[in-house]
Structure 1
Amino acid sequence: MAKILIVDDEQGMRRILNVNLRRDSHVVVEASGALEALALIKREDFDVILTDQKMPDGSGLDVVQAAHDDDPTTSVIFLTAVGTLELAVESMRRGAFDFLSKPFDPDVVRASVNRASERTALLRENAVLKTTVRKLEGADDIRGSGPAICMIREFIARVAPTNSTVLIAGETGTGKELVARAIHRNSSRSGKPFIAINCAAVTETLLESELFGHERGAFTGADRSSPGLFEAAHEGTVFLDEVAEMSPAAQAKLLRVLADGEIQRVGSAVTRRVDVRVLAATHRNLEERVKDGIFRQDLYYRLAVVPVHLPPLRERPEDIVELCDSLILRIAAEMKIQGKRLTPAAIEKLCGYPFPGNIRELRNLLERALILGKSAELEPEDFYLHPPLHAAQGVRGEASIETLADQLPTQVDLRDVVTRLERALINRALDLAKGVQAEAARKLGLSRSDLGYKIGRHGLAVIPDKGADDACFKS
Structure 2
Amino acid sequence: MSKSILIVEDEETLRESIRRIFTKEGYIVDTTGTAEEALTLVGENFYDIIITDIILPGMDGLEMLERVKELHPEQIFIVITAYASIDTAVKALRLGAYDYIMKPIIHEEIKQVVRNAITEKNLKAENRLLKQALSKEYDFSKVIGESKQIKAVLEEIKKIADSKSNVLLLGETGTGKELFARVIHNNSSRADMPFVPINCSAIPESLLESELFGHIKGSFTGAVTNKKGLFEEADGGTVFLDEIGDLPPSFQVKLLRVLEDQMVRPVGSTKFREVDIRFITATNRNLYEAVKEGRFREDLYYRINVITLELPPLRDRKEDIPLLARYYLNKYTRDFGKEDKELTPEALSLLVGYRWPGNIRELQNVLERAVLISEGRYIKPEHFPDNIRMGDSFVEDSLKKGLSIEEYTRAFILKYQHVYSEQELADRLGITRKTLWEKRKKLGIKKP
- The 8 Å contact of residues 135 and 182 in structure 1, kept in 2 or not, is answered as no
2: CA distance, partners of 1:198 / 1:135: 22
Offset of residue 333 of structure 1: 2.5
| Deviation readout 1:41-77 (Å, 9 max, x if unpaired) | xxxxxxxxxxxxxxxxxxxxxxxxxxxxxxxxxxxxx
What residue in structure 1 maps to residue 319 of structure 2? 318
Q: Secondary structure at the match of 1:177?
A: helix
Q: Secondary structure at the match of 2:322?
A: helix
What residue in structure 1 maps to residue 113 of structure 2? none
2: CA distance, partners of 1:196 / 1:369: 30
Offset of residue 152 of structure 1: 1.2
Residue type matched to 2:250 in 1? Answer: A
What residue in structure 2 maps to residue 220 of structure 1? 221
- The 8 Å contact of residues 215 and 228 in structure 2, kept in 1 or not, is answered as yes
Residue type matched to 1:196 in 2? Answer: P
CA gap 1:242/1:369 in 2 versus in 1, 3 angstroms: same
2: CA distance, partners of 1:389 / 1:230: 47
**Is it true that 1:369 corresponds to 2:375 in the alignment?**
no
- The 8 Å contact of residues 196 and 234 in structure 2, kept in 1 or not, is answered as yes
2: CA distance, partners of 1:389 / 1:225: 55
1: CA distance, partners of 2:335 / 2:290: 39
CA gap 1:363/1:265 in 2 versus in 1, 3 angstroms: same
CA gap 1:342/1:163 in 2 versus in 1, 3 angstroms: same
1: CA distance, partners of 2:355 / 2:380: 19
What residue in structure 2 maps to residue 251 of structure 1? 252
Structure 2: 5+ residue runs without aligned partners?
1-133, 393-448
- The 8 Å contact of residues 381 and 389 in structure 2, kept in 1 or not, is answered as no
Offset of residue 374 of structure 1: 2.3
Offset of residue 259 of structure 1: 0.6
CA gap 1:389/1:378 in 2 versus in 1, 3 angstroms: closer
Residue type matched to 2:154 in 1? Answer: R
Offset of residue 362 of structure 1: 0.3
Alignment of 1:316-465 (within 5 A): 316-386=317-387
Alignment of 1:285-296 (within 5 A): 285-296=286-297
**Is it true that 1:229 corresponds to 2:230 in the alignment?**
yes
What residue in structure 2 maps to residue 173 of structure 1? 174
Q: Secondary structure at the match of 1:386?
A: helix
1: CA distance, partners of 2:296 / 2:390: 29
CA gap 1:137/1:278 in 2 versus in 1, 3 angstroms: closer
| Deviation readout 1:183-231 (Å, 9 max, x if unpaired) | 0010000001101111101100111111111122222111111110110
Q: Secondary structure at the match of 2:342?
A: coil
Identity %: 48
Please tell me whether Structure 1 or Structure 2 has the larger radius of gyration of its CA atoms: 1
- The 8 Å contact of residues 215 and 226 in structure 1, kept in 2 or not, is answered as yes
2: CA distance, partners of 1:224 / 1:143: 44
2: CA distance, partners of 1:386 / 1:261: 47
| Deviation readout 1:374-395 (Å, 9 max, x if unpaired) | 242111221124279999xxxx
Mean Cα deviation higher: 334-343 or 354-363: 334-343
1: CA distance, partners of 2:302 / 2:354: 36
Residue type matched to 1:193 in 2? Answer: P
- The 8 Å contact of residues 339 and 377 in structure 2, kept in 1 or not, is answered as no
2: CA distance, partners of 1:309 / 1:389: 31
Alignment of 1:236-275 (within 5 A): 236-275=237-276
Aligned residues: 260
- The 8 Å contact of residues 353 and 385 in structure 1, kept in 2 or not, is answered as no
Residue type matched to 1:144 in 2? Answer: G
2: CA distance, partners of 1:294 / 1:379: 46
Q: Secondary structure at the match of 1:187?
A: coil
Residue type matched to 2:363 in 1? Answer: L
CA gap 1:314/1:180 in 2 versus in 1, 3 angstroms: same
Structure 1: 5+ residue runs without aligned partners?
1-132, 392-475
CA gap 1:389/1:169 in 2 versus in 1, 3 angstroms: farther
Residue type matched to 1:219 in 2? Answer: F
CA gap 1:336/1:374 in 2 versus in 1, 3 angstroms: closer
2: CA distance, partners of 1:322 / 1:286: 32
Over 4 Å off, 4+ runs = 133-136, 387-391
Q: Secondary structure at the match of 1:144?
A: coil
CA gap 1:311/1:373 in 2 versus in 1, 3 angstroms: same
CA gap 1:275/1:134 in 2 versus in 1, 3 angstroms: farther
What residue in structure 2 maps to residue 205 of structure 1? 206
- The 8 Å contact of residues 242 and 280 in structure 1, kept in 2 or not, is answered as yes
- The 8 Å contact of residues 199 and 246 in structure 1, kept in 2 or not, is answered as yes
What residue in structure 1 maps to residue 22 of structure 2? none
What residue in structure 2 maps to residue 144 of structure 1? 145
2: CA distance, partners of 1:389 / 1:297: 44
Alignment of 1:22-37 (within 5 A): none
What residue in structure 1 maps to residue 157 of structure 2? 156
1: CA distance, partners of 2:266 / 2:160: 30
CA gap 1:389/1:155 in 2 versus in 1, 3 angstroms: farther
CA gap 1:385/1:186 in 2 versus in 1, 3 angstroms: farther
2: CA distance, partners of 1:156 / 1:135: 19
Q: Secondary structure at the match of 1:224?
A: coil
Q: Secondary structure at the match of 1:267?
A: coil
Offset of residue 180 of structure 1: 0.2
1: CA distance, partners of 2:329 / 2:360: 13
Residue type matched to 1:376 in 2? Answer: R
Offset of residue 248 of structure 1: 2.0
- The 8 Å contact of residues 171 and 283 in structure 2, kept in 1 or not, is answered as yes
| Deviation readout 1:150-198 (Å, 9 max, x if unpaired) | 0111111111111110000100000000000000010000001101111
CA gap 1:324/1:389 in 2 versus in 1, 3 angstroms: closer
